[in-house]
Structure 1
Amino acid sequence: MILDAIEKRYSVRHYKDQPVEEDKLAEVLEAARLAPSGSNLQPWKLVVVRDRATIRSMVHAIGGQQFVEQAPVLIVACMNGEGYNLGHRYEGAVIDITIALDHMTLQAASMGLGTCWLGNYDGNEIRALLDIPSENPVVVLLALGYPDENHPHRPRPRKPLDELVCWEKFTG
């Protein structure tokens, strides 16, 4: 059930020293491929980084977040085209990429893998390290691997539904 994967998903910041199997990585990437996008443009390119030295060299560019070094896989999501236009250049592409990555996080959670969205990064430094062309801006990064159970997850509280949903008209 989808809600099971949603409930299991959390931002993993401690990973086991265990590689992600090729078939599982392929399923996570397939979830992105199947994600909806405006006009079916799929305006993304995913750079999958598994080389430990490369991941270590990226830590500085990712705001010094040391836990990233533990992740056996780092996925860099870049724009590959502008996407549909919502009045602001690239807005549609950014929305589509976030949908694709959310699909990936849920697929990963359903298979016992953990992920962490990384939004604190220097896009120019990441592009230089991975030879990403300037016309393909970095949108978000995703750490992927097996969660380390020695660092238990404590669920964060969520607002009750009645604070998040209004019926028929907006109410404050």
Structure 2
Amino acid sequence: MGIFDTIKDRRSIRTYKSERIPQEKLEKLLEAARLAPSAANRQNWKFIVVENEQVKKQLVTACNNQAFVGTASHIIAGIGDLSQKWHQVDLAIALEHIVLEAVELGLGTCWIGAFNEDEVKRLLRIPQDKKVVALLTVGIPDESPTARPRKTLEEIMSYNEYT
């Protein structure tokens, strides 16, 4: 599959099979994140992979009771360093590398941005000088949602100036 097809095939998955992701696939996802670019190549990030069922259940509460969060095989927390100006951009790029590699591996993901950061930090023992940028659910999809509508190029871009 080419990268454009991978991008077109990506969906937010909220229904997962109860099977666990094989370790070699999980490691490939994390390797995709490791290879992501970052400002000045600092790679100033940390990924916490949550597989413990009790912790996943607690994360459901921290994620505004989004029940599907707890059904994923794994939850990956993307942690940035507040002392680095571009930590959120760097982490978003690395997490999207995971998302796209997941499509290639037949896995599903969903970005989670609605969460109580203080609670996530407490549950995962994240220091206060770090930032939970986003969480990703990862698992074996048990749904095949259709593509959602997208705006046309003309609606979202212009040349040389804002129009």
Structure 1 runs (4+) greater than 6 angstroms displaced: none
- The amino acid that maps onto 2:48 is V
Quote how far apart the aligned CAs of 1:81 are. 5.4
Say whether the 8 Å CA contact 1:13–1:67 is kept in structure 2: yes
Match of 2:150 among 158, 165, 168: 158
Gapped regions of structure 1 (runs ≥ 5): 86-91
Say whether the 8 Å CA contact 1:78–1:138 is kept in structure 2: yes
Residue 167 (str. 1) matches residue 159 (str. 2): yes
- The amino acid that maps onto 2:162 is F
SS at match of 1:30: helix
Aligned position for 1:18: 19
In 2, Cα distance between equivalents of 1:108 and 1:10: 11
Gapped regions of structure 2 (runs ≥ 5): none
Percent sequence identity is 41
In 1, Cα distance between equivalents of 2:87 and 2:70: 28
Say whether the 8 Å CA contact 1:49–1:75 is kept in structure 2: yes
Aligned position for 2:94: 100
Aligned position for 1:123: 117
In 1, Cα distance between equivalents of 2:142 and 2:109: 12
SS at match of 2:136: strand
Aligned position for 1:141: 135
Aligned length: 162
TM-score (norm 1): 0.90
Say whether the 8 Å CA contact 1:43–1:81 is kept in structure 2: no
In 1, Cα distance between equivalents of 2:4 and 2:153: 15
In 2, Cα distance between equivalents of 1:109 and 1:47: 20
